[in-house]
Structure 1
Amino acid sequence: MKQTIEELPLNKALADVLHQLGIKELNPSYSTGLVWGGQEGRTVKKIRSPADGNFISSVNMATADDYEQVVKAAQEAFKVWRKVPSPKRGEIVRQIGQKLREHKEALGKLVSYEMGKILQEGLGEVQEMIDICDFAVGLSRQLHGYTMHSERPQHRMYEQYHPLGIVGVISAFNFPVAVWSWNAMLATVCGDVVIWKPSEKTPLTAIACQHIIREVLVKNELPEGIFNLIIGDAEIGSLMSHDNRVPLVSATGSTTMGKKVGEAVGARLGKSLLELGGNNAIVITENADLEMAIRAVVFGAVGTCGQRCTSTRRLIVHENVYDKVKERLVKIYPNLPIGHPLSNTTLVGPLIDKDAVEAFQQALAQVQQEGGTLLTGGEVLNGDSYQTGTYVTPAIVEAENHFATVQKETFAPILYLIKYSGDIENAIELQNGVRQGLSSAIFSSSLLETEAFLSHWGSDCGIANVNVGTSGAEIGGAFGGEKDTGGGRESGSDAWRVYMRRQTNTINYSRELPLAQGIKFDIMD
């Protein structure tokens, strides 16, 4: 650690951040955009930073009655909001994006301090919110359908998209605001209203966002219920998942959590958008630019302390360059600056909590029992600068793809180093040989290898990159994965369609009534 926690002038700076973002010592359990509720007689949860263990603020945890209040407000708001022309809805999102620009530094610091990711990543997450606002503004004028030629004379056919209604968003701690914005900004321009249940581990950034949005709602004299927030535990998520009044639930988190949400929503024939676990691999072939590849591997594996759904978990390296890659990584890892996320010199912050540290240690113990070799890292740091017990040294383990531990996603900075021989087909088989299918990458200058990786028999992931790492997707492309990752798509491209209901229309402008397929059905007087 280059700079100790005590040397950082945090207290006053963070107090200013909390004041600017409207965070109180005790915060209400829900908001309907304009009105805050749930301020007394509820379970109180204290939020502490994983960076230094210091108390930040407290939140009231919502009750089932609070949830009902939010849903009712959202239902009434939808009746109004769906009638607002989409470009007008886009104008509201444009103003939200502008407000986020004004509060970027403060919100980025709060993201960093509450979640533990380094400041550069915290600021980058807020920039991602700004970017999706810009994308959604353009989208508001492009919610297009299709026209088709009818087989019947003087008939016209076309498709159009209508708002769904209430969109429930269950977000995870690792991206406490960006993933919500991917959903909320697109859903909003599509004419939906949103109920957001953030992770109970990182609710303060969500409260801050709600304060920022409120400024825009008040300025434009909009009703409550368009942007809603509810702070609660898994019970609130379950209420949302089982609620017929919520036609779409978008959930980000573990595969275990996603299966519960998907089962509940599916049982009522609702729509679910699931962004779940990843077990992402980078393939390095013998034709790769090794220095470029190694830079991508290190950021992918240790960025956000390995707590991204797109973090690099497996490194599949050709035997001809395996030793070079291994030597470079083992040299780099011990020198990674680990420390307080708000220090400018830090590259690796803490894990979110001690449960995550325990999972990290258990995975390392298990993979070594299976035959893996720990090459570097794997320690829990102690001492004056690491009193929280949430700081660890990123680990590299030589392993085999079939190990049970390698087959699972551990949300921590563990990189499994796997050797392959022969041609690219062998590497692809290893890459695809897990249940998760989110992000993947190949580093190679061979057109034959890279095109094979991108082919229909290549990577089976929702994201497949060439000479780009697994982590750090842009908002312009649809984000999501296959298999146990859930199959959902968020953010760019045509991901907006999931937030709308599709309708096919046929118009007869003749004085006859011909039936399709030439069917004759004459009624005799």
Structure 2
Amino acid sequence: MNTQQILDSLGLDDVNPGGFDGEWMASGELLDIPTPVDGTRIAAVRQVTEAEYDRIVDRAHEAFLQWRTVPAPRRGEIVRQLGNRLREKKEALGALVTLEMGKIRAEGQGEVQEMIDICDFAVGLSRQLYGLTMASERQDHHMREQWHPLGVVGIISAFNFPVAVWSWNSALAAVCGNSTVWKPSERTPLTAVAVTKIAAEVCAENDIDPALFSLVVGDGPSIGERMIHDRRIPLVSATGSTRMGKRVGEVVGARLGRSILELGGNNAIIVTPNANLDLTLPAILFGSVGTAAQRCTSTRRIIVHASVREELERRLVRAYGDIAIGNPLDEGTLMGPLLDETAVQNLMDAKEKVVAAGGEILCGGERLEGDEYPGGRYVTPCIARAENHFDIVQHETFAPILYIIEYGSKDATPAEAIAEMEEAMRIHNDVPQGLSSAIFTDHMREAEYFLSHRGSDCGIANVNLGTSGAEIGGAFGGEKDTGGGRESGSDAWKAYMRRQTNTVNWSTSLPLAQGIEFG
């Protein structure tokens, strides 16, 4: 499909309103959206005003008051239909993700599949919103715990996963009985408009208020600030930079609201002498080059034992030279463009800083030019030798630069190498972020050390697979400057509900707890 066919199949126009509360509206400034593929204009989205934002949130609250009365399994049925509609639109929507964000075609399709999968997960969850029963210390009493819908959930998503993050939150929020108001990144609002249109169709077909899935396209200083201050929104789920997350957490916390924060990562893979390098290499490649390293779970650091460093570097440099870079819509491309010129410049600055600190560039980090690379956003992925304490290594560069950090002694015996895991873990954990992590080893003691309370301090810790590519069935999120939030699977649904403890006295007396006598 060409650009116009993609837009037509998703019901998008040349200029699209960026506000939805059951009806489309927007009278704010116009956003022209370029594609990072070649820099040309795709289409435009008009932003909402603050007054329009207020109207949208009011309508979302009205939708919540009705939606919470719908039995949870029936709510799951609506989400099931949403998943099926996404299946029908997968090709076009995945292509739009590629066109607007720049990730390769397979990853664009994969992101839509993630949406479908979380809808399937939420359907099952709609019949499993379990509470507990507890033994009362008082005779002829029983205690139980219930989970009730929370209200309007605000969703702030980032450019790098323009639709999947919305689905993680909205599918769970919906089966829990909540409505949602989505503020997408201003860099990727077309996909948000397209998804909202799909959700609105499903709601309308089922006589459900389409304001259940509302949309506000607007900038951070006006619409974003208004959302995080908004007491009508008891929960704000925000994905983005640590700087942004600190602002969200501060403001939402000050009004005693809740926040789910999914922020920056500085993800590392430990490679021990017991690693299978044939397995390690493709995991590093996908983690460090996939989505042009514009994932929060991208691999940023390789902490490799001295005895295998040279061999791993040799293989990586050769493999990086074989990465097919180009138009992300073309079959066979493994790495597309960076989002914008700022991202390209961040890579160039990181190269300079690592060398100035005493590191060494092993390969890559060049801007690609010419007719094959239009728009000026294509680069070669970079590998650098570094030390963990370098200031640039301590920060997340949202671009394809991979730091090789050595640990241990080249002449260590097998027993000594295992003991050197303590050094590897110290290096691994000595960064402000704590999202995703991995170790490659065939030795049980090393793997279990890594997974223990003395091991990785990240929210995600993998053995013999990379840092990227989390499944929806597990809770997703991290610690420290990553924000501490959890989305998607496991019991992450509880964040979207309010807990209530009930005690029922079915006796004819009124005993007090703790044996207190009164009167």
* TM-score, length-scaled by structure 2: 0.97
Residue-by-residue CA offset, 1:10-63 (whole Å, 9 max, x unaligned): xx622111001011100002012x31111x4x2111001001111110011111
Task: Tell me which residue corresponds to 2:283.
Answer: 296
Is the contact between residue 399 and residue 416 of structure 1 (CA under 8 Å) also seen in structure 2?
Answer: yes
Which residue number in structure 2 is paired with residue 103 of structure 1?
Answer: 89
Shift of 1:158: 0.6
8 Å CA contact 2:303, 2:428 repeated in 1: yes
Tell whether the 8 Å contact from 2:144 to 2:502 is kept in structure 1 after alignment.
yes
| Larger deviation, residues 487-496 vs 206-215 | 206-215
Q: Which residue of 1 aligns with 2:338?
A: 351
Deviations 1:399-452 (A, max 9, x none): 000100000000000100000104211111111010100000000000000000
Corresponding residue of 1:4: none
Partner-residue secondary structure (3-state), 1:313: strand
Equivalent AA in structure 2 for residue 273 of structure 1:
I
Deviations 1:86-144 (A, max 9, x none): 00000000000000000000000000110000000000000000000000000000000
- 2:213 is aligned with 1:227: yes
Other structure's SS at 1:459 match: coil
Partners of 2:361 and 2:384 within 8 A in 1: yes
Unaligned runs of 5+ in 1: 1-11
Aligned to 1:22: 11
SS state of the match for residue 98, structure 2? helix
Code of the residue aligned with 1:387 in structure 2: it is P
Distance between the aligned counterparts of 1:290 and 1:322, measured in 2? 11
Which residue of structure 2 lines up, in the alignment, with residue 256 of structure 1?
243
1:63 paired residue number:
49
1:417 aligns with 2:414: no
Task: Report the CA distance between 1:287 and its aligned residue.
Answer: 0.2
Inter-partner Cα distance in structure 2 for 1:367 and 1:443: 26
Conserved 8 A contact 1:51-1:340: yes
Instruction: Find the partner of 1:364 among 351, 355, 359.
Output: 351
- CA drift at 1:198: 0.4
CA distance in 2, matches of 1:405, 1:460: 20
**What residue number does 2:413 align with?**
none
**Unpaired stretches in structure 2, ≥5 consecutive residues:** 409-416
Which residue is 2:414 aligned to? none
Task: Tell me if the contact between 2:25 and 2:48 (Cα under 8 Å) persists in the aligned partners.
Answer: no
Paired residues for 1:271-290 under 5 Å:
271-290=258-277
Q: CA RMSD in A?
A: 0.8
**Structure 1 moving runs of 4+ over 3 Å:** none
Q: Deviations over 1:178-209 (max 9, x none)?
A: 01100000000000000000000000001110
**What aligned pairs does 1:470-481 form with structure 2 within 5 A after superposition?**
470-481=467-478
Matched, 1:239 2:226: yes
The aligned amino acid for 1:271 is R
Task: Please state whether the residue corresponding to 1:384 is helix, strand or coil.
Answer: coil
Match of 2:411 in 1: none
Deviation of 1:364 (Å) = 1.1
The alignment status of 1:180 with 2:166, answered yes or no, reads: yes
User: 1:517 maps to what in 2?
Assistant: 514
Q: How does 1:205-224 map to 2 (within 5 A)?
A: 205-224=191-210
User: Which residue type is aligned with residue 390 of structure 2?
Assistant: F
Alignment partner of 2:23 out of 35, 52, 58? 35
Is residue 497 of structure 1 aligned with residue 494 of structure 2?
Answer: yes
TM (normalized to structure 1)? 0.96
- SS of the aligned residue for 2:165 comes to helix
3-state SS of 1:392 partner: coil
Match of residue 193, structure 1, among 168, 179, 185: 179
Q: How many residue pairs get matched? A: 508
SS of match in other structure, 2:372: helix
Q: Distance in 2 between matches of 1:279 and 1:485?
A: 9
Distance 1:57 1:123 in 2: 21
Equivalent-residue separation in structure 2 for 1:416 and 1:292 (angstroms) = 19
> Could you tell me how far 1:488 is from its partner in structure 2?
0.2
Tell whether the 8 Å contact from 2:37 to 2:374 is kept in structure 1 after alignment.
no
1:336 maps to 2:323: yes
Asked if 1:120 corresponds to 2:106, the answer is: yes
The one-letter amino acid paired with 1:148 is M
The aligned amino acid for 2:15 is L
Check the 8 A contact 2:103/2:292 in 1, yes or no: yes
> Could you tell me which residue of structure 2 aligns to residue 133 of structure 1?
119
> Is the Cα contact below 8 Å between 2:300 and 2:401 reproduced in 1?
yes
- Confirm or deny: 8 A CA contact 1:119 1:342 kept in the other structure: yes
Match of 1:171 among 148, 154, 157: 157
Secondary structure of the residue aligned to 1:266 is helix
**Partner Cα separation in structure 1 for residue 235 and residue 202 of structure 2:** 25
Question: C-alpha distance in 1, partners of 2:494/2:362?
Answer: 46
Q: What residue in structure 1 maps to residue 360 of structure 2?
A: 373
Matches within 5 A, 1:420-499: 420-421=407-408, 422=417, 423-499=420-496
Q: Matched residues in 1 for 2:101 and 2:18: separation?
A: 19
What's the counterpart of residue 45 of structure 1? 31
Instruction: Tell me if structure 2 keeps the 8 A contact 1:126–1:178.
Output: yes
1:385 aligns with 2:372: yes
What SS class does the counterpart of residue 206 from structure 1 fall into?
helix
Tell me, yes or no, if the aligned pair for 1:62 and 1:230 is still in contact at 8 Å: yes
Do the aligned residues in 1 keep the contact of 2:48 with 2:218 (CA within 8 Å)? Answer: yes
**Partner SS, residue 210 of structure 2:** coil
Code of the residue aligned with 2:265 in structure 1: it is G
d(CA) in 1 for partners of 2:255, 2:482: 21
In the TM superposition, what is the alpha-carbon distance from 1:226 to its structure 2 partner? 0.5
TM superposition shift of 1:224: 3.3
Given that 1:73 and 1:224 are in contact with CA atoms closer than 8 Å, whether structure 2 keeps it comes out as no
Q: 2:365 aligns to what SS in structure 1?
A: coil
- Provide, for residues 205-234 of structure 1, a one-character-per-residue CA deviation record: whole Å limited to 9, x for no partner: 011101111221111011232000111110
